[in-house]
Structure 1
Amino acid sequence: MLPDFIDPEYVLYGIVFLAVVLLAEGGFLWWRDTYGPKKRVSKRMAMLERGATSEEIITALRRQSTDVSKSLLPSVIRYLDARMNQAGIRMSAQRMLTIMASVTMLIGFLFPLLGGITGQVRSAGAVLLIVLFAGGIGIALPVLAINYLAARRLKLLEKQFPTALDVLVRGLRAGYPITGALELVVSEMPDPLSSELGLVLAEMNYGYPLRDALVNLSERVQTQDINMFVVSVSIQTETGGSLSEILDGLAKVIRDRAAMVLKVRALASEGKMTGALLTAMPIITFIGVFWSTPEFYLDVVDDPWFMPGVIGIVFLFTLGVVVMNRLIAIKV
């Protein structure tokens, strides 16, 4: 109950104002992170024409990083940071986690008021439903979206990489140095590979050795093709030899491996689609039903078997997601 000197109407207006502010900020960040990467290459070229320094170019291209040692949830931050790197989202993982937590708490406080169910939230079971509903919207759905964007971007990177190696080999055989050949790839290839290699060039211009810049690339992308490329270049810089011949052979290996990967994906596509649907549909169904008719759940929250049932469902759902991911995670 609120004190007598606090008007509930003003409290509702304040919550709605905060919701609009967070929604506006979220929309701006989504627009920047979605359409910003498409303009990074042209932005880099424009900055070079204006005479920008390598430090300014790196700052413009590199996403915000998170110091895991200072975070309260290092494993969560590390996982989220890796997936956001792969998805091309420039926001830091800690900021994303803060926004997700803020949206979750806001929905948890706002939905009972707007849904007119404040009088029914009087038991631990009802509070648990509100928490699960808010967590589903504020945490589960963003994580599913980030994973989808990361998977789509990685597939595009793997598709572009053999062609990029061919361009790199032709540049090296034409007499370009490695930096010039990389510049040729950046100017010829579209995003997202162009932005990633553009950051490699910016780091090299800033003073990074080629090996360190490529290691940073492999840590950002984390694909086997990029890892093989980095290892090949690192070995060549230490032992010598023709880099163009090495990369030409690597391109053939990657194409053969890509053909094998496509066959494996075709055979495992049914299992992966089933796993994705069985992961997403329970969350989406619960959110949709609770949003439209919360009484469907609130009418039975006082039943003594409700809390054990909810805990059991959450445990079995988590166990099923882990088992399905291990079954469909086929590495080639």
Structure 2
Amino acid sequence: MDPVVLRVLALIVIFASVFLVSERVIATLRQRQRGSRAINKRLKMIEGGLDREIVTSRLRKSAPGSFSDMSGIIGTIGRSIERAVVASGVPFPPHQIMLGMAIASTTVAGLILLSAGIAGFAIGLGVIQLSIALGLCFGGAIPMMILSHLASKRRKRMQEQFPVALDIFVRGLRSGHPIASALDLLTKEMEDPLGTEFGLVVDEVSYGADMRDALQNMADRWGIDDIQMFVVSLSVQNETGGNLAEILANLSAVIRDRHTMYMKVRALSSEGRMTALILTALPIMTFSGLFLINPSFYIDVAQDPIFPIGFIGLIVLYIIGFISIRRLIDLKV
């Protein structure tokens, strides 16, 4: 047989073999992924042999509270960071994240000052301002952008899951389950993040906490209006009585209608939100990226006597623009 034909046949056989093996590997991975999605993180930890008390303590490690009693700008910023850390699902408590950001910012600023001094630049007020700003960008702003992105994805997933969870809860009540048993049903049927959050509620109730307090803690951790309405409905029904299943069924319908309206508003405001995202993130990313490419350019400019005043004015204008844009796109539905 012609050697060319043999070579072509060999290549076809190799290609077919690699293709079939790849398809099999991908199918196996997808099947495992589907199986892993069938249970939530809390059930995985319990299935692994951990005690429920240890599981609860590990999952509650990122629970907020350090800034809950503080007022003013520091308290507001601290609570927003805590909420972003909790919603993002990172396995570290908020105070460790904030401490790490502070250490990273200080380290970056110190390295910039040290490098500028070694390179022979004069360490003046402008260079100090520049190093502090870059330290905050690399150690604070960019990690916060990543955390905010992760938090928004999980919060969106939480909002999508909640009406489904209400339907399961209502069916459990109508089939004769008490409230605690219906909540426990959600911990076994719902995926993350909602399944784990209701699992924390069930564990807190099992260890002696009041159910309304445990549910309120979950609502405070996430700051979602739908969960808050659910907690209020349970509290009102517990005090005044009534058909809880019917109340929650109506609440589920209201939440779905509200979500439909919310998606329409998001579609209409998508251009403004994308503009806000670009105008907010682009200056920080450009500033940081250009410094990494050519640090001497910024340090040379920082030697100018007018730089400290202009730089402060630039930061003030950026903050004013950030607040203005946030108010323009903060649409309540």
TM-score above 0.5: yes
- Within the candidate set 38, 41, 59, 1:39 is matched to 41
Look up the SS of the partner of 1:56 in the other structure. Answer: helix
Greater Cα offset, 280-289 or 118-127: 118-127
* 1:211–1:230 contact (8 Å) kept in structure 2: yes
Q: TM-score, normalised by structure 2?
A: 0.81
CA distance change for structure 1 residues 304 and 109 in 2, over 3 Å: closer, same or farther? closer
AA paired with 2:331?
A: I
AA paired with 2:255?
A: I
Query: What is the aligned length?
Result: 292
- Alpha-carbon distance between aligned partners in 2 of 1:328 and 1:70, rounded to the nearest angstrom: 27
Greater Cα offset, 256-265 or 74-83: 74-83
Q: TM-score, normalised by structure 1?
A: 0.81
- Within the candidate set 54, 59, 62, 1:61 is matched to 59
Q: CA deviation at 1:144?
A: 1.4
1:108 — aligned with what? Answer: 109
Q: CA deviation at 1:281?
A: 0.7
Q: CA deviation at 1:41?
A: 2.8
Q: CA deviation at 1:91?
A: 2.4
| Alignment deviations for residues 223-272 of structure 1 (CA, whole Å, 9 cap, x no partner) | 11111111111111111122111111111111110100000010111111
- Alpha-carbon distance between aligned partners in 2 of 1:146 and 1:123, rounded to the nearest angstrom: 34
2:7 — aligned with what? Answer: none
| Alignment deviations for residues 206-239 of structure 1 (CA, whole Å, 9 cap, x no partner) | 1112111111111111111111111111111111
1:81 — aligned with what? Answer: 82
Q: CA deviation at 1:61?
A: 2.1
| Alignment deviations for residues 259-296 of structure 1 (CA, whole Å, 9 cap, x no partner) | 00000010111111111111111001000111110122
2:245 — aligned with what? Answer: 244
Unaligned runs of 5+ in 1: 1-36
1:204 — aligned with what? Answer: 205
1:180 — aligned with what? Answer: 181
Unaligned runs of 5+ in 2: 1-38
- Alpha-carbon distance between aligned partners in 1 of 2:248 and 2:224, rounded to the nearest angstrom: 17
* 1:66–1:94 contact (8 Å) kept in structure 2: no
* 1:38–1:191 contact (8 Å) kept in structure 2: yes
CA distance change for structure 1 residues 121 and 275 in 2, over 3 Å: closer, same or farther? farther
AA paired with 1:269?
A: S
* 1:87–1:147 contact (8 Å) kept in structure 2: yes
- Alpha-carbon distance between aligned partners in 2 of 1:310 and 1:66, rounded to the nearest angstrom: 35
- Alpha-carbon distance between aligned partners in 1 of 2:65 and 2:100, rounded to the nearest angstrom: 15
Q: CA deviation at 1:115?
A: 7.6
- Alpha-carbon distance between aligned partners in 2 of 1:121 and 1:66, rounded to the nearest angstrom: 44
AA paired with 2:56?
A: I
1:170 — aligned with what? Answer: 171
Structure showing greater radius of gyration is 2
| Alignment deviations for residues 12-48 of structure 1 (CA, whole Å, 9 cap, x no partner) | xxxxxxxxxxxxxxxxxxxxxxxxx96333213555x
- Alpha-carbon distance between aligned partners in 2 of 1:260 and 1:317, rounded to the nearest angstrom: 32
- Alpha-carbon distance between aligned partners in 1 of 2:163 and 2:184, rounded to the nearest angstrom: 16
CA distance change for structure 1 residues 60 and 126 in 2, over 3 Å: closer, same or farther? closer
- Alpha-carbon distance between aligned partners in 2 of 1:121 and 1:200, rounded to the nearest angstrom: 58
Alignment of 1:291-302 (within 5 A): 291-302=292-303
- Alpha-carbon distance between aligned partners in 2 of 1:207 and 1:57, rounded to the nearest angstrom: 16
2:130 — aligned with what? Answer: 129
Greater Cα offset, 65-74 or 165-174: 65-74
Q: CA RMSD in A?
A: 2.4
| Alignment deviations for residues 143-192 of structure 1 (CA, whole Å, 9 cap, x no partner) | 11222121111111001111111111111111111122112222111101
AA paired with 1:318?
A: I
